[in-house]
Amino acid sequence: MRKPKNGLAVLYLMAIGAIGLQSCIDNTTKKEYASAADIPVSREMTAELTAPPNVPRGVGDRKAKKLIVNMEILEQEGTMTDGTTYNYWTFGGSVPGSFIRTRVGDEVEFTLSNHPDNKLPHNIDLHAVTGPGGGATSSFVAPGHEKKFNFKTINEGLYVYHCATAPVGMHVANGMYGLILVEPEGGLPRVDKEYYIMQGDFYTQGENGDPGLQAFDMQKAVDEDADYVVFNGSVGALTGDNAITANVGETVRLYVGNGGPNLVSSFHVIGEIFDKVMVEGGSSINENVQTTLIPAGGAAIVEFRVDVPGTFILVDHSIFRAFNKGALGMLKVQGEENKTIYSGVVQEGIYNPEGGGIQVMPNGDEDTDISSGTKTLAEKMESGKQIYTKTCFACHQANGEGIPNAFPPLAESDYLNADVNRAIDIVLNGKTGEITVNGQKYNSVMTKQAISSDEVADVLTYIYNSWGNNKTNVTRSQVEQVKNGH
């Protein structure tokens, strides 16, 4: 090659060389970081851990970090349901355990501490970990000790973690599970509200609702005969004042896990459709989903927009678990109604298959001779029993015993017998919120019943004259007075 004749040519050759060098660097970089395992970390930060139903802030566009996670194991007594307690084994003092939020490429330095007051050794298996036991082989720790290990987050997704100390099923059944999220580079898309929900099945020596401290029952667990199936560790953990909330027009993202140890979850929100579901917490996305299957030891991310106000019920749609064993939560949405999307009741009438069209309900100003006013008590009892069987039986049961922890009893009910007009109003208009019946608290939803004033009178007469109640004979005029606000 001939020497350049002037300085301009020298600069030209230097520029060409620089471009070539930069190209080599770019190609090397692309090749070097082709795997998430090779993503370099920048500085270090302490992970924000949160108890359910809260989640830490999203990772956004932060670079991969050395992420310091400090988690403490606590064995502690807690409330399973009103009057019933249980010895939970926990990660971070909650069931499920603390939510861990990372991004792909993070290098996690994980310290697991076993509180000195605990009685047993424990460890942790994180499904997000690529390595023996998911970290379990490196984290077995006795009371009063701690273990530290590192791992790289190389796969995006929502993952379960749990204790894997023998007997593994017993440790999981006592509440030792939680979720770890590995976000993609740049983070997940923004939503308005995010919540952390995890289902678990519990096995107690007493039956569902038996009072006092309940011990774990190994045989029931082996037989998969759960006494409680709950969200976030206890009955009512997501109802009443503990309900999750949103406003009309907001987007909601739920990180939903299933600790098991045995049962598969059929997760459903009554009155909503999931716009998106990240199936099993991975990269596949389904749209317009009604119910999503979450295996034991699995997870899913569901997203939806709330378009109308109201209380939306979260359930395991293996439905007896929801209404009989506790797998029920609430999402309370506030805001303006949208009659185009949901109208509410637009007409109330009597269904008469032999009488042609719908008959409009009479109002309190009409002078009508209603058959209820001329019925004998025996006739009202027979009519009321039929109405009860059709409209009340499912929740309050054949003998008015109700469903423990879900729907209050009507039999020998102090709440019912104390105020007849209040009972009439509840049947007419429904009720939400906490009440106390026979010393037990209930926080569920009683819907408005679309029945006539005569039918309200008859069914309440039947209830008041059954199961040890105060034998009130409710009249149509009483119902009308309550209906008209008198």
User: Tell me, what's the pLDDT at 349?
Assistant: 58
Under a CB-based contact definition with an 8 Å cutoff, are residues 98 and 110 in contact? no
Measured between alpha carbons, how far is 283 from 15 in angstroms, rounded to an integer?
A: 44
Q: Judge if 210 and 163 occupy the same domain.
A: no
* pLDDT tens, position by position, 279-312: 999 999 999 999 999 999 999 999 999 999 999 9
Taking alpha carbons only, the member of 101, 14, 115 closest to residue 58 is 101
| Residue of 388 and 409 predicted with greater confidence | 409
Average of pLDDT values for 413-423?
A: 95
Q: Are residues 87 and 210 in the same domain?
A: no
CA–CA separation, 115 vs 366, rounded Å?
A: 72
How confident is the model at residue 251, as a pLDDT?
98
The model's pTM: 0.73
Answer yes or no: is 93 within a domain.
yes
Closest C-alpha among 246, 308, 307, 298 to residue 277: 298
Would 34 be classed as within a structural domain? no
pLDDT in tens, 338-367: 999 998 767 655 555 554 334 444 444 443
Q: Are 311 and 370 members of one domain?
A: no
**Sequence-ordered alpha helix ranges (H) in 353-431:** 377-391, 393-396, 414-418, 420-429
345 lies in a domain?
Answer: no
User: What CA–CA distance (Å, rounded) separates 148 from 33?
Assistant: 27
Q: Which band of pLDDT confidence, cut at 50, 70 and 90, is reported for residue 396?
A: confident
Query: Would you say 464 and 483 are in contact if contact means Cβ atoms under 8 Å apart?
Result: no
Both 221 and 327 in a single domain? yes
Res. 479 pLDDT band, cuts 50 70 90: very high
Q: CATH number, domain at 422?
A: 1.10.760.10
Same domain, 358 and 464: yes
Q: What percent of the chain has pLDDT over 90?
A: 73
CATH classification of the domain holding 330: 2.60.40.420
**DSSP states along 60-124:** TTPPP-EEEEEEEEEEEEEEEETTEEEEEEEETTBSS--BEEEETT-EEEEEEEE-TT--S-B--
The answer to whether residue 368 is domain-embedded is: yes
Domain finish residue from 309, 334, 359: 334
Alpha-carbon distances of 471 from 43, 73, 405, 466, rounded to whole Å: 74, 54, 26, 7
CA-CA distance, 150 to 108, in Å (whole number)? 5
